[in-house]
Chains A and B, each alone.
Chain A
Amino acid sequence: MTQTSEPSTVDLSVFGEDTVARAQQLISRYPLSRSALLPMLHLVQSVEGHVSQAGIAFCAGQLDLTNAEVSAVATFYTMYKRRPCGEHLVSVCTNTLCAALGGDAIFAKLREHLGSEGKPLGQEETSGEPGTPGSITLEHAECLAACDLGPVLQVNYEFYDNQTPDKALELVTALQAGEKPAPTRGAPLTDFRQAELQLAGFFEGRESDLDGPSAAAETVRGARIAADNGWTAPSMSDDVAFPPLPEKK
């Protein structure tokens, strides 16, 4: 493979010693270093609010890859944003089931609300100056695996279940005003960048996030009905033995 010389003009100073240390820590988690690339892209996104050319060059440098190799990966995955994101990322599920239950109407309402001069906000566009308080990037998402709670949306990947256009509008208006309404399931809301740091695998000082709610009534519906009716799986007998060691063929 021909190694082309990388432009030397990319300024990596935004990635300080702590980021370098974290990048090295990521590499140490895997048998082969390149496996650290996906978490590392989340890491640079936590620093800059998107994956910039500098972010790509940083990952390439840490992993001894070319910028082209890292770019090829970064552009493949929808969670790596190529333009600066808002303080919050709002993702509305518009896959078939959520859409039929109101997801399309929610997305349309938010596009209209966050748009300007009569023009609705487009996919992955940002309302407000990216990164500043109250700025919001809006996207429609594919199935978010919460279909029993649809229509759903996420803010910075925390779940807001059983939404309606009005509830979603109220939520987004609150976010714009600097409030952080609690998710239905997930940790107390922070911002997009802090969520990305956790996706990179860094949770220090955030242990209490674990206690954020996770089980909606829908989640435990079957288990609850079974408990109420005294239904159980057949009981296990004590001292179940393993089968004998199979003979070698």
Chain B
Amino acid sequence: MVDNLTPVLTKRWLSPRSWTLKTYEQLEGYTALRKALGAHPDQIIQQCKDSGLRGRGGAGFPTGMKWGFIPQGDGKPHYLVINADEGEPGTCKDIPLMMADPHSLIEGVIITSYAIRANFAAIYVRGEALHCIRRLNGAVQEAYAAGYLGKNILGSGFDLDVVVHAGAGAYICGEETALLDSLEGKRGQPRLKPPFPATAGLYASPTVVNNVETIASVPFIVNGGSDWFRTMGRERSPGPKIYSLSGHVTRPGQYEAPMGTTLRELLELAGGMKDGIPLKFWTPGGSSTPLFTADHLDVPLDFEGAAEAGSMLGTTALQLFNETVSVPWAVMKWTEFYKHESCGKCTPCREGTYWLVQILQRMVAGNGTASDIDTLLDVCDNILGRSFCALGDGAVSPITSGIKYFKDEFLALCDKNSAVLAGAH
């Protein structure tokens, strides 16, 4: 039986000055790197595949498979890019990780770069995360000074340079191809796929783009092995996961538990709903994942469990809202966000989010009609699956799921106006 909480990535966070190389080395830091450099790169890729590690940035793509897509012996430079552009509403796991334990990410970066044969890696950090950028930069400097980065790392003949790159405020850059364009010094707009980054990524060369939590897991998999990693979580979604609880909960915070843990179990650890006011709705993994309600407390929160229940695991950003919060209002606020962050490249998302905001604002102001609900769903239908990237799909999630579970609340906003209109005839 595995314990309720399984701190792996979050364990060092309790140590004093956990961000320093000194502390990191005292707590097994860089032992996995020494081990990895003694193995063949393909063995590391195979181990990652065997572990079943899936991307922690939201999509859950198998990490080892992604690494395996990089063509070897192609004569082109390879790149590793870390997506540290954490900005999905509700998501707050990568920034504390990078502040508390930046070396775990850097060690993961070095091992991954060795595995995919990359000699340059960039960590693209959200610009607003200044303290995190400082800590990462300090850790990179320490790693260079200790011989973990630069030329001939630990005498292995492997060279790697790492740059910490600050973004400039654009949610869309969390989309991997927009991030690559941004890293190339352009507007952060997504690219048409294919080609995928594995064949034409940064500077049109083979590139792996992985999330922070994913890559910080790599040193633990190297040290513990794939079987150890699979002792936690479920068959198709193994490992530990950082669940971020926020909102109307007694003890919000970061809880690292085996994949497949339920909200009921997490709420128990977090002291239940704040002031005992009942749960009304929640997001399993950020605002782009369809809403859940109090009927979903026992959904296993892993990639399969969340999908089978009609949502997505996303970033395991559990935003909890109690009965005092209006669903149409919350949906309107999220839609304002997507409208602001839509990059403008494709028409369905650019125009669609604009009109969705207009309609929702009108409804929340008490000036909507019941037919607005149909219009909302119609616009959503024209965005979902028709946009250039997943931002458009994410934008419709709160609306369609909000109407699915709480249609009466939307209708109640329109009652008054229906009556007035009827009386006008």
**Which 3 pairs across A and B sit closest by C-beta, in order of nearness?**
A221-B253, A37-B185, A222-B255
- B residues 107-129 in Cβ contact with A at 8 Å: 120, 126-129
Smallest CB-CB separation from A186: which chain B residue? B131
Interface centre among B8, B95, B134, B164 (most CB of A within 10 A): B134
Contact residues in B for A125 (Cβ distance below 8 Å): none
A142 near B89 (CB under 8 angstroms)? yes
**A186–B96 touching, CB < 8 Å:** no
Distance in angstroms between the alpha carbons of A43 and B255 in the assembled complex: 37
Instruction: Report whether B46 and A148 are in contact in the complex, using a CB–CB cutoff of 8 Å.
Output: no
Q: Are B89 and A41 in contact (CB under 8 A)?
A: no
A148 in contact with B252 (CB, 8 Å):
yes
Min C-beta distance of B256 to chain A, whole Å: 5
Residues from 217 to 233 in A contacting B, C-beta threshold 8 Å: 217-227, 229, 231-233
B134 contacts A198, CB within 8 Å? yes
In the bound complex, do residue B257 and residue A222 qualify as a contact, i.e. CB atoms below 8 Å apart? yes
Contact of B166 among A31, A38, A185 (CB under 8 A): A38
Given known pairs A30-B163, A76-B170, A221-B251, the reply for A233 and B334 (CB within 8 Å) is: no
In-complex Cβ contact of A233 among B7, B166, B251 (8 A): B7
Report the Cα distance A147→B245, complex, angstroms.
8
Q: Which residues from chain A contact B228 at a C-beta distance below 8 Å?
A: 234, 236-237, 240
Residue A36 interfacial (CB < 8 Å)? yes
A177 at the interface (CB under 8 A from B): no
- Residue pair A240, B135 in contact (C-beta under 8 Å): no
A residues less than 8 Å from B245 (CB atoms): 148
Total inter-chain residue pairs, C-beta < 8 Å: 288
**CB <8 Å contact, A142 and B87:** yes
Cβ-based interface call for B86 (8 A): yes
- Indicate if A210 sits at the interface (CB-CB under 8 A): yes
Nearest-neighbour CB distance to chain B for A219, whole angstroms, equals 5
Would you give 14 A-B contacts (Cβ < 8 Å), ordered by A?
Answer: A31-B120, A96-B287, A99-B333, A146-B95, A149-B252, A150-B246, A187-B131, A203-B137, A214-B99, A214-B131, A219-B96, A222-B257, A231-B4, A240-B225
Whether B5 pairs with A226 at a CB distance below 8 angstroms is yes
Q: Enumerate chain A residues within 8 angstroms of B224, measured Cβ to Cβ.
A: 236-237, 240
Q: Interface code A12-49, partner B: CB below 8 Å = 1, 0 otherwise? A: 00000000000000000111101111110110000000
Check if A222 sits within 8 Å of B130, measured CB to CB.
Answer: no
B317: Cβ under 8 A from any A Cβ: yes
B337 lies within 8 A of A142 (CB): yes
CA distance A211 to B232 in the complex (A): 34
CA distance A159 to B96 in the complex (A): 12
Q: CB distance B246 to A222 under 8 Å?
A: no
Q: Give chain B residues whose Cβ lies under 8 Å from the Cβ of A217.
A: 253
Q: Can you list, as one digit per residue, whether each of A146-164 has a CB less than 8 Å from chain B (1) or not (0)?
A: 1111100010111100000
| B193 close to A (CB within 8 Å) | no
Return the chain B residue nearest A74 by Cβ. Answer: B168
User: Which residues of B in the span 155-204 have a Cβ within 8 Å of any Cβ on A?
Assistant: 163-171, 182-188, 203
* B129 and A222 form a contact (CB under 8 A): no
Complex Cα distance, B183 from A30, in Å, reads 10
Check B134–A148 contact: CB distance below 8 A.
Answer: no
Identify the interface centre among B14, B50, B96, B203: most chain A CB within 10 Å of its CB.
B96
* Contact flags B379-403 to A (C-beta < 8 A → 1, else 0): 0000000000000000000000000
